[in-house]
Every structure is written in C-alpha cells, then in structure tokens.
Structure 1
Amino acid sequence: MKKRIMNGREVSDGQVQAWAVEAESGYDVDQLNRRWGRPARVEKTSQVVLTRLPDAELAALMERADREGLDRSAAIRAAVREWSAK
C-alpha cells in the first residue's frame, strides 16, 4: 500500500479512518463557513498594496512602530492616515 503523506508526515490508516468517520457524521456548515485568519478591519474587503521601501526608511518606520507598540502594517496605515489628513 502507498504511504499517505500530509505536510511532510506520514498519515496512519487510523487517522484516515477517524477523518472518514468524522466526515460521515456530518459537519456544522456554519462553523465551516466562518472566516479564518485575521478579523476584517472594515466591512468591505480591503486591498493589498505592495510597495518597496529603502532599508533606511523601513528601519525608521519600525523604530517608531516599536516605540508606539505597533506592528508594521499598523504603522504603515498610521503613516498613510497622517499624511492623507493634511
């Protein structure tokens, strides 16, 4: 019998059987339809905008982000809000 590999690990016959039993008993569709990952920031889907920053600009941004307890994305959004408010 061929080995079953998932995420680099062998999957046992017992695990496959357990998954089959779980599937046959049915799933909660509402639970399956829940959105995984980060919660949405806004009601409408946000756009991902890629940009390049020189090392010095990114370092300066991250220094301020660290001082203010922000992650990189939050710091960039704060910088954009500050600039666009003027």
Structure 2
Amino acid sequence: MGETINGVPVTEKQISEWAAEAEDGFDLEAMKRRGRGRPGRGAEPSQVVALRLTSEELAALDARAAREHKTRSEFIRDALAAYAA
C-alpha cells in the first residue's frame, strides 16, 4: 500500500513534479498570499479549546445552531458571550 494524501494515492509522477518544482525554487510571495489554514478571527491568533459533550448534548446543540442558521462554533461563541456578559 503506497502513500496517500486525503485518501488519494500519490503517484510517482506527482512526486517527480513536486521534486522538480522544489528544485526550481518556490515563489515565496505567492505562497504567502495563498493563505494556510482557517482565516483568523481577529488581530491575534485564536486558541482551540477541547470540550467533551454527550451525543445528546451535541445533538441538541447542533439542532439549535441549525435553527438559528449558525455553525456549531458560531453558536457556542455566541452562547459563551451572552453568558459572560
């Protein structure tokens, strides 16, 4: 079984193309403009906080978030902000 990226097999041709690109050099300015990861939420980096929920709690949270047309994260942030106010 060969190497995969996101479950898709990596071919020898891809490896050769990547090696040639690396040998030619990368356009660092273009790479910086591409952006990596999720977009920021402010001037400072956000911190990820792990939280354990039961399947029932998670289902209730997701249902409420869907009713309010929000993502799970948006709903949790809004709820925390309202609680802390």
TM range (shorter): 0.7 to 0.9
State the 1:10 CA deviation: 5.1
Which residue does 1:25 correspond to in 2?
24
Equivalent residue for 2:58? 58
Number of corresponding residues: 81
Q: Which runs of 4+ in 1 moved over 6 A?
A: none
Provide closer, same or farther for how the CA distance between residues 78 and 24 of structure 1 changes in structure 2, counting only shifts above 3 A: same
Q: How does 1:7-86 map to 2 (within 5 A)?
A: 7=4, 9=9, 11-12=11-12, 14-34=13-33, 35-85=35-85
Spell out, residue by residue over 1:8-58, the C-alpha distance to the aligned partner (whole angstroms, 9 max, x if none): 62522x444333332233211122235312100111111111112233332
% identical aligned pairs = 43
TM-score, normalisation: structure 2:
0.73
With a CA cutoff of 8 Å and minimum separation of 6, indicate the structure with the bigger relative contact order. 1
The separation in 2 between residues aligned to 1:19 and 1:56, in whole angstroms, is 46
Superposition TM-score, scaled by structure 1 size: 0.72
> 1:61 & 1:9 partners in 2: Cα distance?
37
